[in-house]
Amino acid sequence: MSWTTKLVISALAAATSIGVTVGAAAAPPPNAPGADVAPACLPVQTPGVAHCGALQLLDPAQNWHGAHADGRGGSKKPVGGGGSSGPSGYFPADLQSAYNLSAAISSLASSGARPLVAVVDAYNDPNAASDLATYRSQFNLGPCSVVSGCFTQVSQSGSTTSLPANNTSWSEEISLDLDMVSAICPACHIALVEASSTSIADLGAAVNEAVSLGAVAVSNSYGASEFSGETVDDAYYDHPGVAITASAGDGGYGVEYPAASPYVTAVGGTSLVPDSSTRGWSETVWSGTGSGCSAYESAPSWQPTTSLCASRTVADVAAVANPSTGVAVYDSYGESGWLVFGGTSVASPLVASIYALAGNTSNFTTSGGASTAAEALYGAALYRVTSGSNTRHCSIYLCNAADSLSSGYNGPTGNGTPDGTTGF
């Protein structure tokens, strides 16, 4: 897709943002996608039809990489390049440092276990295997190929030969998803399950196929506007013993499906920057992340409710999503190679991979009408996010981290961001 086309798409996305100001007139979030950020897929308003959530930073020179891989000190380091000349954005070592994952990664690698993480997307990326190989080679993550059995690419019915139609927009999402699983869990096996269309029915069928393949965690980096029949589709995401994650959305305050389902772990987004703290990193709410009170889904028994929201609240947890603090991704199908991406499409596969690292998903059963994969995060020792909002003039916990509940919960970032595998 050309940069000119992406600029047009970006402007359309900004104009149709779902961000609102609670209790006041509608207003877009402060950092809604603009001229420097373009969505891989345009949002759609058709009930039961989803769009992917990958957001490309069009000027990688605004981003940085390798600023702080040891997790200590440092500051942003702007770099040029990107495209085919080399990667910009955060590298695997940065993400592993930011979320305290090195020990868990080493432990899994030495154990010999190879849990399967699945990513569900629509349509086919014909370069998925080769692009994945390039990313893993660049960052010395070890090979993960079809031949070795590490990587599997199938349709929603499980076919390895009869795949959906090729699609350059969703291929960007696919590359992002595969690269994030590799970055967070290099020892994991990976399944790419491709739905025939963007309907929740087809994407849900792909989730069922992912579970049938033996995935311990399934990431869904897509969302649809909430619709009255969505509770019927919850069955696609109800899989005891499997962690199902879903992106909270990238249009600012508002709720998407399947993040609204009580059977998934809804993943919001942050801005992640290195600093001189003991952790070495700090996070604030990314203003583009989705959050809020579901219009149709009941609150699970383990989620706090208030007079402001007696229904399912999004999100449960969060991770980096701001394109301006985005991640390096390699995509060659209709693209130039190295790109920088953000969106809660980064956060969902990142969190799914942490569930796999933790190795606890077999203990997750349905409880109170929802999966304990999300329930375990409530009260867990996570990195709390206490500043930032995803809509202007908001002073309530549904959209403002500064107004967190007594438990530390807020809508945009849930219970916080990962600190190792605690809570997963």
Task: Compute the average pLDDT of residues 36-50.
Answer: 91
Assign 76 a pLDDT band (cuts: 50, 70, 90). very low
- HEC-encoded secondary structure of the chain: CCHHHHHHHHHHHHHCCCCCCCCCCCCCCCCCCCCCEEECCCCCCCCCECEECCEEECCHHHCECCCCCCCCCCCCCECCCCECCCCCCECHHHHHHHCCCHHHHHHHHHHCCCCEEEEEEECECCCHHHHHHHHHHHCCCCCCCCCCCCEEEEECCCCCCCCCCECHHHHHHHHHHHHHHHHHCCCCEEEEEEECCCEHHHHHHHHHHHHHCCCCEEEECEEEECCCCHHHHHHHHCCCCCEEEEECCCCCCECEECCCCCCCEEEEEEEEEECCCCCCEEEEECCCCCEEEEEEEECCCCCCCECCECEEEECCEEEECCHHHCEEEEECCCCCEEEEEECHHHHHHHHHHHHHHHCCHHHCCEECCEEHHHHCCCCCCCECCCCCECCCCCCCCCCEHHHCCCCCCECCCECCECCCCCCC
Q: pTM for the complete prediction?
A: 0.89
Residue 16 has pLDDT above 50, yes or no: no
Residue 79 has pLDDT above 80, yes or no: no
Q: Which of 105-119, 157-171, 280-294, 356-370 has the lowest mean pLDDT?
A: 356-370
Q: CA distances (Å), 197 to each of 40, 123, 156, 180, in order?
A: 16, 6, 10, 23
How much is the pLDDT for 22? Answer: 34
How much is the pLDDT for 274? Answer: 95
Residue 12 has pLDDT above 80, yes or no: no
What is the spatial distance between Cα 120 and Cα 50, in angstroms, rounded to a whole number? 12
How much is the pLDDT for 15? Answer: 32
How much is the pLDDT for 243? Answer: 95
Structure-model confidence comparison of residues 58 and 28, the more confident one: 58
Token digits of residue 302: 């383990």
pLDDT in tens, 342-377: 999 999 999 999 999 999 898 887 655 556 789 999
What is the spatial distance between Cα 218 and Cα 118, in angstroms, rounded to a whole number? 5
Residue 187 dihedral angles phi and psi, to the nearest 5°? -85, -10
Residue 31 dihedral angles phi and psi, to the nearest 5°? -120, 45
User: How many residues make up the chain in this entry?
Assistant: 424
How much is the pLDDT for 28? Answer: 37
Q: What is the mean pLDDT of the chain?
A: 87
pLDDT in tens, 182-240: 999 999 999 999 999 999 999 999 999 999 999 999 999 999 999 999 999 999 999 99
Assign 54 a pLDDT band (cuts: 50, 70, 90). very high
Token digits of residue 365: 């059963």
What is the spatial distance between Cα 424 and Cα 420, in angstroms, rounded to a whole number? 9
Q: What percent of the chain has pLDDT over 70?
A: 84
How much is the pLDDT for 370? Answer: 59
pLDDT in tens, 396-424: 999 999 999 999 999 999 999 999 999 89
What is the spatial distance between Cα 414 and Cα 388, in angstroms, rounded to a whole number? 13
How much is the pLDDT for 25? Answer: 28
Under CATH, to which class is 3-403 assigned? Answer: alpha beta
How much is the pLDDT for 17? Answer: 33
How much is the pLDDT for 265? Answer: 96
How much is the pLDDT for 44? Answer: 86
Task: Compute the average pLDDT of residues 299-320.
Answer: 95
How much is the pLDDT for 101? Answer: 98
How much is the pLDDT for 372? Answer: 74
Report whether 36 contacts 62 (CB < 8 A): yes
How wide is the angle at C-alpha 329 spanned by C-alphas 195 and 171, nearest 5°? 25
What is the spatial distance between Cα 178 and Cα 161, in angstroms, rounded to a whole number? 20
Q: Which of 26-35, 57-66, 125-134, 337-346 has the lowest mean pLDDT?
A: 26-35
How much is the pLDDT for 74? Answer: 32
Q: CA distances (Å), 357 to each of 105, 270, 336, 372, in order?
A: 7, 21, 32, 17
Starting from the edge strand earliest in sequence, which strands make up the sheet with 327-331, in order? 37-39, 55-57, 337-342, 327-331
